[in-house]
Amino acid sequence: MTTADPRAEPGISAATLRKVERASSALATRSVALMDERLPWFRSLPAQQRSWVTLVAQAGIAGYVGWIGGGLDGFKLTEAVFGSAPRELARSVTLRRTVELVRIAISVAEEHLPALAATPEESAALADSLLRYSREVAFSAAGVYAAAAESRGAWDQRLEALVVDSIVRGDGGDSLASRAAALNWDFSGPVVVVVGSPPSSGAPAAGRIGVGERNRQSALIAGIADQAAPLDVSALAGLHGDRLILILSAPTADALHSAVGALLETFGDGPVVRGPIGTGLAGAMTSARLALSGLRAVLGWPNAPRGIDADHLLPERLLAGDPDAREHLHRTVFAPLVATGDALPATLDAYLAAGRALEPAARDLFVHVNTVRYRLRRVAELTGLDPMSARDSLTLQLAMMTGRLDAEPEAGRRDAS
């Protein structure tokens, strides 16, 4: 004598189960026909995806037989119903639409299956079991989509890390553009890169990053994206050793300035440096390069404001050997001043040599003190640097020094020719 499976539905005979099993194919066909009739979006699906849905519908009816027979628990039910469909189905058919499909399939089963029962009691038992089965299928569908979402989230984070790494290394090209496009990242507008230290959490030993640390990093990056969303900016974030790299894109430069200030709290203790605002992937790579240069050099200015622009660290970057800072000072300070003739460079030299005192500089130049003031105002207009500011005067002095050193070899080559 065979003992019945204790999980089997009570009140349903083996003969009725066989009738349900034989009717499963016809019920699945009827379900798909009803989906086609009631759901416009289903009719527009490609033939391949429609065939996947048909397979799932057939598996769902067959799974019901196994379920009421006690042979399928929740985990096996998920595999039985949704295992026949490829992963692409979860991407092409949303969870909301899947619920619509399940609702139609269950309604067809509720309409036809109870009629297969031999007795009214069996019919009621079938109807009751269908209700509970539909709940199990709904939970299974939710589990499938949750797993797909987790997988997509993990893949998106890996892809985001690759994009950030490529921008930091200055590795452009088609691969970077395609990865950015896969993340729906729009580089057509203003973009800026901000760098600093990540929040402190007791960093793991070198070369050993456990699951807990990876989860913390994932939570940190996801949290930055969540904070950036209400600010009308898009954010990519990545951890590179002891540096947190934040790439922001927004419709306007003003939105970027506001976002940088609001997101400073996402960084840990220590200085935070932002690169210049650029456009496109090239602009992002330039901004990243200059921001990282500023972060390396900011140690030379202990009281630097948090969130300082890399261009405000030109003296420190120049002394640290940054060729971008040297070229920037030559282009924006030395060349414009030299192009005006000898008066402005000579006045600036005399003013700096006199310890930023107007009257001694005027005596050395044999001009009125107001002439010195006028010329210094012209220096500020041309360069954006105020000679009467201690820090700006240091930048001006270094720019004139390096500009003359760079110009000297060129003058020597001209004399030799």
CATH number at residue 284: 3.30.70.2730
What CATH number did the domain enclosing 25 receive?
1.10.490
Same domain, residue pair 238 and 352 = no
* Alpha carbon distance 220, 237 (integer Å): 9
Q: In the prediction, which pLDDT does 93 show?
A: 67
Same domain, residue pair 308 and 342 = no
Contact at 8 Å (CB) between 244 and 201?
no
Contact at 8 Å (CB) between 297 and 316?
yes
Own/partner contacts of 123-131, CB < 8 Å, gap of 24 or more, are 124/11, 125/9, 125/10, 125/11, 125/12, 126/12, 126/16, 126/20, 126/68, 129/9, 129/12, 129/67, 129/68, 130/64, 130/106
Same domain, residue pair 266 and 338 = no
Residue 48 lies in a domain: yes
Count of domains for the chain: 3
In one letter, which amino acid is 309?
A: D
Q: H or E segment at 239?
A: strand 234-240
Residue 58 lies in a domain: yes
Same domain, residue pair 121 and 18 = yes
Residue 301 lies in a domain: yes
The pTM of this model reads 0.61
Same domain, residue pair 290 and 334 = no
Q: In the prediction, which pLDDT does 257 show?
A: 86
Q: In the prediction, which pLDDT does 113 show?
A: 78
Q: Which two tokens stand for residue 105?
A: 């399939």
Q: In the prediction, which pLDDT does 154 show?
A: 52
Same domain, residue pair 91 and 46 = yes
Angle at 212 between CA 193 and CA 271, to 5 degrees: 30
Same domain, residue pair 37 and 133 = yes
* Alpha carbon distance 157, 179 (integer Å): 12
Q: Which of 114, 122, 273 is nearest to 192 (CA)?
A: 273
* Alpha carbon distance 344, 338 (integer Å): 8
Angle at 330 between CA 328 and CA 334, to 5 degrees: 135
| Residue found by looking up tokens 């939105």 in the block | 255
Contact at 8 Å (CB) between 398 and 318?
yes
Residue 2 lies in a domain: no
Q: In the prediction, which pLDDT does 45 show?
A: 78
State how beta strands 243-249 and 308-309 pair: unpaired
> Residue 248: phi, psi to the nearest 5?
-120, 140
Q: Which two tokens stand for residue 367?
A: 């001009």
Q: In the prediction, which pLDDT does 2 show?
A: 37
Residue 365 lies in a domain: yes
Domain boundary among 312, 333, 359: 312
Same domain, residue pair 360 and 251 = no
Same domain, residue pair 144 and 230 = no
Q: H or E segment at 201?
A: none
Angle at 103 between CA 97 and CA 109, to 5 degrees: 140
User: End-to-end distance of the chain based on CA atoms, in angstroms?
Assistant: 113
Same domain, residue pair 291 and 345 = no
Q: Which two tokens stand for residue 114?
A: 């109870």
Residue 46 lies in a domain: yes
Residue 4 lies in a domain: no
What averages of pLDDT result for each successive group of 10 residues across the chain (417 residues)? 43 76 81 84 78 72 67 49 54 67 78 80 79 73 61 58 76 66 70 89 44 58 73 80 86 85 88 92 89 94 93 95 95 96 95 94 95 96 95 95 83 51
In Å, what is the CA distance from 63 to each residue of 20, 76, 79? 11, 9, 10
Same domain, residue pair 242 and 286 = yes
Q: Which two tokens stand for residue 343?
A: 């008066």
The whole domain housing 126 covers 14-151
| Residue found by looking up tokens 């990545």 in the block | 238
* Alpha carbon distance 180, 160 (integer Å): 8
What CATH number did the domain enclosing 360 receive?
1.10.10.2840
Q: In the prediction, which pLDDT does 199 show?
A: 83
Contact at 8 Å (CB) between 251 and 189?
yes
Whats the size of the chain, residue-wise? 417
